[in-house]
Amino acid sequence: MERRVRLIPYRLIAEVEEVTEVPKGIEMIQAPKVWEQTKGKGMTVAILDTGCDVTHPDLTERIIGGRNFTNDDNGNEDVYRDYNGHGTHVAGTIAATQNQQGVVGVAPEANLLIVKVLDQNGAGQYEWIINGIYYAIEQKVDIISMSLGGPEDVPALHEAIKKAVENHILVVCAAGNEGDGQDATNEFDYPGSYNEVISVGAINLERRISDFSNSNNEVDLVAPGETILSTYLDGKYAKLSGTSMATPHVSGALALIKAIATESFERELTVTELYAQLIKRTVPLGDSPKLEGNGLLYLTTADYLKKVFSNQVKAAVAEVLVKN
């Protein structure tokens, strides 16, 4: 029997004809406060998904190419059009252009490589995913973003991911949507549960863990994943929910983090060093590590902690002055 992989299940909340705003999830992770330093220019994110609406006005400037590994469009490898909507939504969260209309992504000047590995039904063969990963490696991308998965641990898929990491590529994957809101039970989805990937769980816009978000000891961090506004088919916009929507927040953030770190350290950091830079930019939410990993992605954590520390010092000094 042919083994299949699929989109991490997600919910379409609403379609929108026109918008002009910075989505709440982008604001929540503090991305706009980093744009004075970088907007991700020079970084390339490969999106392994259902393709992309390459004519969308918020995305067309960001797309540098791609390839189709599915049977859609008679298997024409040069046509990576999205007939599903999922891939287009992910692309917008990562890098929708800041053009004073529509939405803006986490890294609005990053490049997007569209790697279509799932068909119009959101399903595909493991071979398509594996070939897509090797293609992304050949193209020397900085980050691979995958909001897909299945319950089966496929050794060839694992090997492809290891090869990507060996080639200094950060691999970001959705944790999965089979969760029950309890950390006592484990739900594993692959490739999200491989140790080599950065596994992303979801929270809602009130910073609470999404009930559907998988819990296990491989979850690295969480990001906004409910009612996420982004680009959609036919130049439109939509709000979707799922760990699929949380994942591109982290993929885009890594484009910003890598750009900043490369300039600061004046060298290329290793995947391990970049992972450390990512985890430095998280804040605990008080939930189990199986649910939230290291916490919520928060790009200005250093400034936040500095402010908290400063306030604590001021309070301590005030207390001493009162006593004296």
Task: Supply the residues annotated as catalytic.
Answer: 49, 86, 244
Distance, CA of 160 to CA of 145 (rounded, Å): 14
Count how many Cα atoms sit within 13 Å of the Cα of residue 311 in the half-sphere of its side chain: 6
Q: What separation in angstroms does the CA of 200 have from each of 124, 147, 223, 248? A: 22, 9, 7, 9
- Please name every residue paired with 206 in a beta bridge, in sequence order, or none if there are none: none
Query: Cα–Cα–Cα angle for 138, 85, 44, nearest 5°?
Result: 30
Beta carbons within 8 Å of 226's beta carbon, 6+ residues apart: 202, 203, 204, 205, 210, 241, 245
Query: Cα–Cα–Cα angle for 168, 201, 101, nearest 5°?
Result: 80
Total residue count of the chain as it appears in this document: 324
- The amino acid that residue 3 corresponds to is R
Q: How far apart are the first and last CA of the chain?
A: 80
Beta carbons within 8 Å of 270's beta carbon, 6+ residues apart: 168
Helix (H) or strand (E) holding 251: helix 243-265
Distance, CA of 263 to CA of 258 (rounded, Å): 9
The answer to whether 252 touches 198, Cβ cutoff 8 Å, is no
> How far is residue 215 CA from its own chain's centroid?
17
Beta carbons within 8 Å of 299's beta carbon, 6+ residues apart: 29, 30, 31, 33, 34, 253, 256, 257, 281
